[in-house]
Amino acid sequence: MFSFFKQNKGPFTAKISPLGKSITVKSGSSENLLKAALENGIQWPYNCRVGSCGSCKCKLVSGKIKPLADFSYVLTGDELKQGYILACQTSLKGDIEVEVQLEDTAGVELAKARTLNGKISNTKQLTHDILEVQVELDGQFQDYLPGQYADILVPGIVDRARSYSFSQSPANEKPNQVSFFIRKVKNGQFTEWLHGDNHVGHPIVLDGPHGNFYLRKPEGPIVLIAGGSGLAPMRALMQQITAEGVKSPVTLIFGARTQQDLYCSEEIAEFSSAMNGNFKYIPVLSVEKNGEGWQGAVGNCPDAITPEMIDGKSSHAYLCGPPLMIDAAIDRLKAMGLEENRIYFDKFLDASSMPAGRG
**107 in a domain, yes or no?**
no
The answer to whether residue 90 sits within a structural domain is yes
Residues 94, 58 share a domain = yes
Domain that holds residue 316: 222-347
Q: Is residue 359 part of a domain?
A: no
Residues 64, 86: one domain? yes
Q: Which of 182, 210, 238 is the last residue of a domain?
A: 210
User: Would 105 be classed as within a structural domain?
Assistant: no
Q: Are residues 241 and 330 in the same domain?
A: yes
- Whether 124 and 76 map to the same domain: the answer is no
Q: Are residues 86 and 125 in the same domain?
A: no
pLDDT of residue 290: 65
Same domain, 155 and 228: no
Q: Write out the chain in H/E/C secondary structure.
A: CCCCCCCCCCCEEEEEECCCEEEEECCCCCCCHHHHHHHCCCCCCCCCCCCCCCCCEEEEEECCEEECCCHHHCCCHHHHHCCEEEHHHEEECCCEEEECCCCCCCCCCCCCCEEEEEEEEEEEECCCCEEEEEEEECCCCCCCCCCCEEEEECCCCCCCCEEEEECCCHHHCCCCEEEEEEECCCCCHHHHHHHHCCCCCCEEEEEEEECCCCCCCCCCCEEEEEEHHHHHHHHHHHHHHHHCCCCCCEEEEEEECCHHHCCCHHHHHHHHHHCCCCEEEEEEECCCCCCCCCCCEECCHHHHCCHHHCCCCCCEEEEEECHHHHHHHHHHHHHCCCCHHHEEEEECCCCCCCCCCCC
Q: Is residue 300 part of a domain?
A: yes
- Domain boundary (210, 240, 270) is at 210
Is residue 267 in a domain? yes
91 and 164 belong to one structural domain:
no
Model pLDDT, residue 110: 84
User: Domain containing 68 — which CATH number?
Assistant: 3.10.20.30
* Number of structural domains the chain divides into: 3
Quick check: is 217 in a domain? no
pLDDT at position 212: 87
Pair 80, 131 in one domain = no
- Distance (Å, whole) CA 89 – CA 109: 26
Q: Give the mean pLDDT per block of 10 residues along the chain (359 residues).
A: 56 92 84 89 82 89 94 92 96 95 75 94 98 97 95 92 95 97 94 96 95 91 97 98 96 96 97 97 88 86 95 94 91 94 82 45
pLDDT attached to residue 92 = 94
Residues 158 and 233 in one domain: no
Same domain flag for 88 and 125:
no
We report the CATH number of the domain holding residue 121 as 2.40.30.10
pLDDT given at position 89: 95
Q: pLDDT at position 331, please?
A: 94
Are residue 94 and residue 153 in the same domain, yes or no?
Answer: no
Q: Are residues 92 and 123 in the same domain?
A: no
- Whether 357 is covered by a domain: the verdict is no
| Residue that is last in its domain, among 210, 241, 257 | 210
The CATH number that applies at residue 311 is 3.40.50.80
pLDDT of residue 352: 47
